[in-house]
Amino acid sequence: MKINAGTLREYLEATFVNAQDHASEPPQLMFLVEQMDEIFQREIFAHDFEANPTAGLLVMNAYTMLLSAVRQAMSGHVVSTFPIARTALESACYAFLIARDGGKADIWFHRHDSEKAHKACRDTFTVAKAVKELKAIDPVMADYVQAHYDASIDFGAHPNRKSVVDHLEDTGPIEDGMHGFSLTGVYGRNSWHINLGLLVCVEVGQAIAFLTAASAENHPLINERVDVFQDWMDAKNRMVYESNGEPLNCTGPIYSSVTPPV
């Protein structure tokens, strides 16, 4: 077997060119990302956020990590969008757990003090525990958060089959009786995969927005303005269904049910 890989310089140039091109001519689904940011700015950041300070810190970390996932998707290295998006979702889950029990903030802060403290933090802060707590508020959104966490692991947060083989192309026979395969790392400007990465960010962003609101005291976005959140979810779903051209059988995030064009 022989492996031929591009250089670091080539990788940096390809991702830089994509990001630069997208800055002047946004990808097709960038409008969904801009709508997402408008929800965060208008419905969350424009108001007082009555919550545990540590939860607020983790909310900000979740948001900035989400922005980083958008940036990574626009670079064309779509697979690496998933570990960043997963970290953003985990940060929102941790914020929610602390909001439900302020005593958990000390456990989070003292994670690195000792082996015992490290284990206590790992045992306390899990997505599964956040999902269990969220079920008391909204069982549907609890399932949504869990589904996104699981899908992120399948599609790129872990080196699973989907995150590797799905980006492999059979290039046919080559010299010396060998057979060629190409593993795509960076996709081209406004490609199907780049737009999929943006959809991933929007769907994870919706889970993070709900967790963020649930981390505050009586937050309007999931109380008297819950229709704003639901309308946002419905509009995204309609857009994806219409652009797909046929019904989708979704058991998790919409992005996990769409397939690239042949």
Task: Check residues 243 and 145 and name the one with the higher pLDDT.
Answer: 145
Look at residue 146 and tell me whether its pLDDT is greater than 90.
yes
Q: Is the pLDDT of residue 81 over 90?
A: yes
Distance CA 77, CA 47 (A): 35
Question: What are the counts of helices (DSSP H) followed by strands (DSSP E) for the chain?
Answer: 11, 2
The predicted-structure confidence for 10-33, as pLDDT tens digits, reads as follows: 999 999 999 999 999 999 999 999
The CA-based dihedral angle spanning residues 119, 122, 125, 129, taken in that order and rounded to the nearest 10 degrees: -100
- Nearest Cα neighbor of 91 from 64, 59, 116 is 59
**Beta carbons of 47 and 39 less than 8 angstroms apart:** no
Residue 193 and residue 29 in contact, taking contact as beta carbons nearer than 8 Å: no
- The letter for the amino acid at 63 is Y
* Per-residue pLDDT at 245: 66
Give the mean model confidence (pLDDT) for residues 99-107. 96
DSSP 8-class letter at 182: E
Give the pLDDT score at 215. Answer: 96
Specify burial of residue 230 (Cβ count, 10 A radius: 0-12, 13-18, 19+).
exposed
Burial class, 114, CB count within 10 angstroms (exposed 0-12 / middle 13-18 / buried 19+): exposed
The continuous run of DSSP H or E covering 80 comes out as none
From CA 22, how far away is CA 150, in angstroms rounded?
29
Dihedral sign computed on CA atoms, order 75, 167, 80, 13: negative
User: Across residues 129-155, what is the average pLDDT?
Assistant: 95
Check residue 172 and give its pLDDT: 86
- pLDDT-derived band at 246, boundaries 50, 70, 90: low
Query: Is residue 250 pLDDT above 80, yes or no?
Result: no
CA dihedral (60, 84, 220, 95) in degrees, to 10, reads: -60
Mean predicted confidence (pLDDT) in 93-119 = 97
Whether 129 shows a pLDDT value over 90: the answer reads yes
> What is the average per-residue pLDDT within 81-93?
98
| More confidently predicted of 106 and 176 | 106
